Amino acid sequence: MTEKKHAIKPYPLGAHVEDGAIRFAYASGKKDCGIILYDRESGKKLHKIPFRREERMGNVYCKYLELDPQQIGYQFYEEERIVPDLHARGFLSKPVYGKTRKNVNRIAVFPGDDFDWEQDEHPMLSYRESVCYCMHVRGFTMHASSKVTHRGTFAGIAEKLDYLQEIGITTVELQPVYEFDETPEEVNKKTSADIVATAGENGGELPGYRVLNYWGYREGFYYAPKAAYAAGEDAALEFRQLVKEFHKRRMEVILQFYFPKGMDVTEIGNILRFWVLTYHVDGFHLMGEVPAQALAGDPALTDTKLWYYDFDAAKLYDPAQKPEYRNLAEYRDDYLYTMRRFLKGDDNMLSGVLYEMRHIPANMGRIHYLSNYYGFTLMDMVSYDHKHNEANGEGNRDGNDYNCSWNCGEEGTSRRKKVLALRQKQLQNAFCMLLLTQSTPLIFMGDEFGNSQQGNNNPYCQDNKITWLNWQDKEKNAGLLAFWKQMIAFCKAHPILHPEEELRILDTLSCGYPDLSYHGQNAWRPQTESYNRHVGMMYCGKYAKTKAGADDSFLYVAMNMHWEPQKLAFPKLPKGMEWKLVLATEEAGNILTVQEREEQMADQTRTVAPRSIAVYEGVMGISQDKGKSTGKSRKKKSEASEER
């Protein structure tokens, strides 16, 4: 090892291979500080090298050492204190998940850069063609029912990519995958499993217990993939392989990054650019009090998706010029609360529902959802009136008290057929709302087949059956999963349901129909009074911009969240067309007698069953089809006569 004379280069901080040497840059106000070197193979301490005064610029020290980066590990020190490198790209030893780790054991190493990306490309999907899926890396496949080889890891996700593609997912949002401490340095001997076993004792409280940080929303080592999420010893390699597999399927990877208040915007920008360049990720969900507006204006991130609860697009883009690629998206809870309240039948919701279902911010996307990692899952939303967080050890005081949920007649698990049937129908209603809304839908892992977290709406500390996805529900709720797939296929077949820009409720094409219109008991006259819970929405496919040209379909979505049946009027279609039921969440309400059918056709109305959604499509009328069939039959007879 030799020192190499070089001009001081304070940034970026950390250790970087440059000019045939390793440049160490460390910020400290201490005079006695420096570098500790270790043998990478054995972990044995090799040298303790102090920084010199002349290597300092302000409070940043910089030293160049001629070393083989694949043979050494390192840490920094300040006086007697060991300081791990917050900018490390990886660490020497792979930790066991949930086991306490001390800073003195965090020896940083250089991951190998020799990886064949096979010319992979960012899919850069538009928001209109995206369906998003939020997941926790460990919770997604940790349950034995996942039947993957490498449970709870990046490799485990890779084993499930065919399934995700099968259910129509294009974009996966991962909860924090950067290196963070899930356990504090001093932990009570009790585990989160013990808390589950003793839930209810002493009001669910265990004094002095310091809980597991399962979610990972805390400061961390932002440049290193979480080693405990890797099946093998090289987390960097395994995460690269996962991203490459996503891209082979034209699927995207979005990472959640939590940054604490006051973190430097330059450093945040460096972190995001690092993950794009090194790991080819497709975007980020920014969390915490971050300078999102400044990051949105970063020229290097214009092809990278950025999600945040609010952006001021008007200050970022010239009103007369649209961005070439819409990378920004709103990500907030407004939709969740409005649509959940409508789903359970609250009054005074219709106006808000109509807005939420059509809203797309100018020059941006919007991510909408009815569930997420926090709050109730979709199944728990229809199974519980109240949160049940006793297992968290905080006396059920943690988590949101306001969940806009309804248990459909019985709290928690139930054997009553009527309750179970209503829950299934409400979940189908929720799928319809999610996928018939014009912006970009997102679901939390397992919602597509009714995953439950036992009423826990804040399982931030649970690394057990509460948060591990139980894949047996996939067979148990096979009908629900089939309905999800049906809805995905239907929406993909009708581009008018996912436009690039917000529909204007105007006939801008002068075709006789607006792009979107609302209807009540009379066509063209929606009834949005506080006591109404039903509405009809008609979409004119001529306004859909597709590669093949205009879409001539007409769709009518009839929603009734009232506990009694309601009538809705249907507009007249172009000559020769009539309305045909194509999707519904209430089978019993679809069976009509011949007389009822004739009455409804006469006054252009349909009766929508209680708490149900029905979708109709404009098709060529039966008489038209018969005429065509008759014509074909005559032609065949004529041809047969000529042959004779």
Residue 91 maps to which CATH number? Answer: 2.60.40.10
Cβ atoms of 562 and 529 within 8 Å: the answer is no
pLDDT higher than 80, residue 601: no
Same domain as 78, residue 153: no
Q: Select from 302, 331, 360 the last residue of a domain.
A: 331
3-state helix, strand, coil in the chain (%, to 5): 30, 20, 50
Is 208 part of any domain? no
The DSSP result for 347-361, as a single string, is SS-HHHHHHHHH---
pLDDT of residue 626: 45
State yes or no: pLDDT of 335 exceeds 50: yes
Supply the pLDDT for residue 563: 96
Instruction: Quickly state the pLDDT bin for 376 (edges 50, 70, 90).
Output: very high
The pLDDT assigned to 587 comes to: 62
Residues 428 and 462 placed together within one structural domain of the fold? yes
Q: How confident is the model at residue 188 (pLDDT cuts 50, 70, 90)?
A: very low
Spatial contact of 223 and 274, defined as CB atoms under 8 Å apart: yes
Identify which of 83, 87, 70 has the alpha carbon closest to the alpha carbon of residue 15: 87
Answer yes or no: do 531 and 478 share one domain.
Answer: no
Is residue 206, in this structure, part of any structural domain at all?
no
Mean pLDDT (whole number) for 26-53: 95
Residue with the two structure tokens 């809304």:
437
Burial class (CB in 10 A: 0-12, 13-18, 19+), 370: buried
What's residue 589's pLDDT?
A: 40
Nearest to 397 by CA among 389, 407, 386: 389
Q: What is the pLDDT of residues 246-290, one digit of tens each?
A: 999 999 999 999 999 999 999 999 999 999 999 999 999 999 989
Contact 56, 31 (CB under 8 A): no
Residue 637 lies in a domain: no
Burial 590-607 (b: 16+ CB within 10 A, else e): eeeeeeeeeebeeebbbb
Contact predicate 49/74, CB 8 Å:
no
Render pLDDT for 192-243 as a digit per residue (tens, 0 to 9).
445 444 444 434 444 444 579 999 999 999 999 999 999 999 999 999 999 9
Q: How confident is the model at residue 616 (pLDDT cuts 50, 70, 90)?
A: very high
**Predicted local distance difference test score (pLDDT) of residue 598:** 52
Residues 456 and 489 placed together within one structural domain of the fold: yes
Same domain, yes or no: 343 and 377:
yes
- Structural domains counted in the chain: 4
Same domain, 6 and 69: yes
My answer on whether 159 and 287 are in the same domain is yes
Q: What is the pLDDT confidence band of residue 636, given thresholds at 50, 70 and 90?
A: very low
Among 83, 105, 127, identify where a domain stops.
Answer: 105
CA-to-CA distance for 344 and 347, rounded, in angstroms?
A: 10
Joined tokens for residue 25: 């840059």
pLDDT-derived band at 101, boundaries 50, 70, 90: confident
Is residue 125 assigned to a domain? no
Q: Which residue's entry shows tokens 């990278």?
A: 304
In a domain, 569, yes or no: yes
Tell me, what CATH number does 558's domain have?
2.60.40.1180
Looking at this protein, which amino acid is placed at residue 558?
Answer: A
Query: Which residues neighbour 56 within 8 Å (Cβ) at sequence distance 6 or greater?
Result: 8, 62
Average pLDDT of the segment spanning 556-578? 96
pLDDT over 80 at 640, yes or no: no
Residue at token pair 């005079």:
31
Domain boundary among 66, 83, 105: 105
The tokens describing 518, both together, are 């609302």
CB of 393 within 8 A of CB of 211? yes
Note whether 261 and 165 are same-domain residues.
yes
* Any domain includes 398: yes
With respect to residue 235, please indicate whether it lies within any of the assigned structural domains. yes
Q: Helix, strand or coil for residue 182?
A: coil
**410-463 residue pLDDT tens:** 999 999 999 999 999 999 999 999 999 999 999 999 999 999 999 999 999 999
What pLDDT, on a 0 to 100 scale, did the predictor assign at position 498? 94
Q: Which pair of tokens denotes residue 493?
A: 């077949």
pLDDT for the residue 195: 42
3-state secondary structure of 482: helix
- Please provide the average confidence, as pLDDT, over all residues in the chain: 90
In angstroms, rounded to a whole number, what is the distance separating the alpha carbons of residues 265 and 268? 5
Residue 575 amino acid letter: K
State the pLDDT confidence band at 550, using cuts at 50, 70 and 90.
low
The reply to whether 309 and 383 lie within a common domain is no
454: left (phi over 0), alpha (psi -120 to 50) or beta: left
pLDDT of residue 7: 81
CATH code of the domain in which 263 resides: 3.20.20.80
| pLDDT score of 594 more than 70 | no
pLDDT of residue 642: 38
Domain ranges, residue 597 = 503-625
What pLDDT, on a 0 to 100 scale, did the predictor assign at position 622? Answer: 57
- Tell me the mean pLDDT in the region 613-642: 58
My answer on whether 581 and 440 are in the same domain is no
Nearest Cα to Cα of residue 306 among 330, 274, 275: 330
Q: What is the mean pLDDT of residues 314-323?
A: 84
Q: For residue 169, is pLDDT > 90? A: yes
pLDDT of residue 319: 75
Name which of 48-62, 177-191, 598-612 the model is least confident about. Answer: 177-191
Identify whether residues 356 and 476 lie together within a single domain: yes
Q: Tell me if 441 is assigned to some domain.
A: yes
In this structure, the answer to whether residues 173 and 300 fall within a common structural domain is: yes
Residue pLDDT, tens place only, 459-494: 999 999 999 999 999 999 999 999 999 999 999 999
